[in-house]
Amino acid sequence: MYSAQLITYKKESRIAVQFENKPELRARFKKLSGALWSTKLRSWHLPDTAAYRNQFGLPPMSMLSPAQQVKLTEYERWLLAKRYSNNTIKTYKEALKSFFTYHHAKKVEDLTEADLITYNNDYILKNKLSSSYQNQIVNAVKLFYSTIEHKQIRPELIHRPKREKSLPNVLSKEEVKMILEAHTNIKHRTMLSLLYSAGLRSGELLALRPQHIDSNRGVIVIKQAKGKKDRIAPLSEKLLSLLREYYKEYRPQKHLFEGQNPGQPYDSRSLQLVLKQSLAKTTIKKPVTLHWLRHSFATHLLEAGTDLRYIQELLGHSSSKTTEIYTHVSTQSIQKIVSPFDTL
């Protein structure tokens, strides 16, 4: 059995295919034209062609009517006017486009909750697409009909998946130190160190400008982060020394970390490569991502006795429930528990 879904990979539409990890299946898939493996996605993927869509049970290439295209454009303009993030706009547009494409023979105004249920059961569930994709579709369609069509779609009628309760991946302090000290390049070392020391998202790091480092107050100002909220993060004295050393050598013009072109922000994919190169110089075999450094920052703060409310503020979480997940990965209390096995 397999599951397939449309993805965007390096700004290109692709088809990600998940299947049982058997040598014979991998060998067959490798023979398909354009087949590639993505370590980041942990999935094989193919070019988005009409033939592959048909082969893997995906909706046909866009068959939107002019009227549907007009509605899609109207929806995009509304999202832009409401200042939704670029990622959200892209996600919601693609979700609504997929829904329209599946029901291309129907007029937009004639689509109902029953059509969304059909799409959910016969396309999303049948192809075993992710629960996050399922929720994105429902959210996008619901928002479109309530704002553009002024018609209510009752999401409670749609079989929503249970929210997956996965724990954040956390590194030990020793592992973090190995990663941060692996690079001799001062720029690479500073970027990774800043991610961990302030608990930043990678996008927040790349958006920083030199003036956002306030050495007098000992804080880092993070402008218009997730949810379009400003916040401040602590500026470590040890990191400040590293930043000064980096700044003297590179003299960035506009962004704190710039790529090969002066004034242009460092590329996100290049930042991922920086981490990959660092890991290759260590003995760590875990599939570490940049976000693991943020998770580790929060967990290490909690284990050091920092109040959960402060950690919530530092991470920029709107809800305390989001921050509370770190209590489940902190080993501080667990290590004090004596296993009954030790008393046998």
Q: Which positions are annotated as active-site residues?
A: 201, 226, 291, 294, 317, 326
What's the 3-state SS for the chain?
CEEEEEEEECCEEEEEEEECCCHHHHHHHHCCCCCEEECCCCEEEEECCHHHHHHCCCCCCCCCCHHHHHHHHHHHHHHHHCCCCHHHHHHHHHHHHHHHHHCCCCCHHHCCHHHHHHHHHHHHHCCCCCHHHHHHHHHHHHHHHHHCCCCCCCHHHCCCCCCCCCCCCCCCHHHHHHHHHHCCCHHHHHHHHHHHHHCCCHHHHHHCCHHHEECCCCEEEECCCCCCCCEEEECCHHHHHHHHHHHHHHCCCCCCCECCCCCCECCHHHHHHHHHHHHHCCCCCCCCCHHHHHHHHHHHHHHCCCCHHHHHHHHCCCCHHHHHHHHHCCCCCHHHCCCHHHHC
Distance of alpha carbon 325 from alpha carbon 64, whole angstroms: 42
